[in-house]
Amino acid sequence: LFARPFVFIKGCVRIADLPPADRMEIAFAGRSNVGKSSLINALTGTTGLARTSNTPGRTQELNIFESQSDALRIVDMPGYGYARAPEDKVKQWTRLIHQYLTGRPNLRRVYVLIDGRHGPNANDATVMNELDKAAVSYQIVVTKADKPNKSELEAALAKTRAAVAKRPAAHPEIILTSSEEKVGLEQLRAEIRQLMEH
Ligand code: GTP
Ligand code: MG
């Protein structure tokens, strides 16, 4: 599945722009700058596929990528909770994210990314609430594991586990990743392969 490169299909600013719901989709969601686009590049092994930046608010559309060998689509999402962008933009992204996450029939799983330095915040909780309410399958991915020191990472992980334990439904195990140091990628790939088989 990940042996061949992924290709960029299009960027969508509204739900109506999405391609037909004709194949399995997985989406990467999380606050601005958490490392969504970087993880997609690392996971697919396609450098520069998704655009990344030091500045939060880089990804502003639902960016669609497809495998050239299999019927898998990956969706890179704008970050949520980014307060420094113009208010109407933030509103537009929030609405788009909400509509996509709760209304896409072929969305097989959402990866909710949590920063390994900080753990979850209120916006993450809101998104988990929405996904739980809509009964959409999701898994927590802790990112940037190379950045914090050991005790900071442990603290962020403990907070993340506690937040997930509070959820009404059971969720798959938390995955620890670093796009920079290629940690957790093989585990993530294996799980995505499994999703494609079921
Ligand atoms: P938005 O599109 O703005 O919502 O951000 P994003 O979640 O797509 O984050 P992006 O992938 O653009 O990464 C943000 C910054 O974090 C970039 O400067 C990346 O180089 C850096 N980054 C991402 N993943 C890692 C990681 O695993 N380790 C380290 N050290 N830095 C990372
Ligand atoms: Mg991005």
Domain annotation covers residue 121: yes
Domain annotation covers residue 1: no
Q: Provide the ipTM.
A: 0.99
Distance CA 50, CA 56 (A): 14
Q: Which residues line ligand 1 (CB under 6 A)?
A: 30, 32-38, 52-54, 56-59, 78-79, 143-144, 146-147, 178-180
Ligand 1 pocket test, candidate residues 28, 32, 33, 152, most atoms within 8 A of CB: 33
pTM tops 0.90: yes
**CATH code of the domain containing 103:** 3.40.50.300
Please give the C-alpha separations between residue 106 and each of 11, 74, 111, 184, in angstroms, as whole numbers: 18, 11, 15, 25
Domain count, the chain: 1
Domain annotation covers residue 181: yes
Distance CA 40, CA 20 (A): 21
Which of ligand 1's atoms lies nearest the C-alpha of 55? 3
From ligand 1's centre to the CA of 38, what distance in Å? 5
Domain annotation covers residue 189: yes
CB distance 177 to 183 below 8 Å: yes
| pLDDT tens profile 109-137 | 999 999 999 999 999 999 999 999 999 99
Domain annotation covers residue 24: yes
> What range defines the domain where residue 118 resides?
6-197
From ligand 2's centre to the CA of 60, what distance in Å? 8
| pLDDT tens profile 18-70 | 999 999 999 999 999 999 999 999 999 998 999 999 988 888 899 999 999 99
The encoded tokens of residue 46 equal 């396609």
pLDDT of residue 198: 82
